[in-house]
Structure 1
Amino acid sequence: MKVLVINGPNMNLLGEREPEVYGKMTLAELERLIRAEAESMGIEVSFVQSNSESVLLSAIHEARKNFDGILINPGSFTHYSVAIADALRAVKVPTVEVHISNIFAREGFRAKSVTGRAARGVITGFGPESYILGLQALARITRE
């Protein structure tokens, strides 16, 4: 099984940006954590991070050819990117959306997930563990 892990805007600043909200783990450390868990599950993972919506859209489009699942943290695109939601629907690759913070416990505008409507499920608020839970969910979904 192959999973594409997509991280959106500002995720490259993990560990620096609002550590009281997102924690002190860097993106590189998060990717190592995900890779280790994936390997223990027999899953191959690849990572994409971009602050550009067009780069993320291209990654989603390419995923339909090479991946069995998508694990996505769209970052701030979560709240308004119809383009990302449409791309996720179009490629028909099982997708789980994840968030480090609980988007429903934050500012009102963050409680809306446009992209989550295109995912099989959304896991939010468990810190880096959200990614592990999402990976486990994808493994189950693809076995159905």
Structure 2
Amino acid sequence: MDFFRRYMISKYDKEELSGTDIVEKLVDRFQSASRTEDKRDSLRTLKALSKKYRLEVGTKAMPVLIEALKTEQEDSDSVCYALESLYFVMDDNDSEQVDAHELINVPPDLGSQFTEIFIKQPENVALILCFVDVSTFNM
């Protein structure tokens, strides 16, 4: 009977990936990618997930986003995706756009906590200020 059951289960009955799993896969994909396009795609998807999965993106992907700002400076799209992801993770005002039932166990000052973590390293602040100084950067 297990033989038939295995083939009769629909794809919707299978367990869906959690937000943490998705973010971890994207982080791994970014770190193992050698092409700029692959890194850009990972950053684009992280940006899209950063509103709904703020906690996961902030805890798992913040080092990757900072690395992208350091290493992908020539690619304005990658820089833009990384900056927007950091913005969504650190902004406490934007959380009102997400349904309350999706933010279970998320503290109301999560953005402030991520901001404190980010600015503890002065080179992160200097990195952001470098992008403010660049006049050709499109935001």
Instruction: Name the TM-score, length of structure 1 as normaliser.
Output: 0.31
Instruction: Name the TM-score, length of structure 2 as normaliser.
Output: 0.32
Query: Over alpha carbons, which structure has the higher Rg?
Result: 2
In terms of fraction of residues, the more helix-rich structure is 2
In terms of fraction of residues, the more strand-rich structure is 1
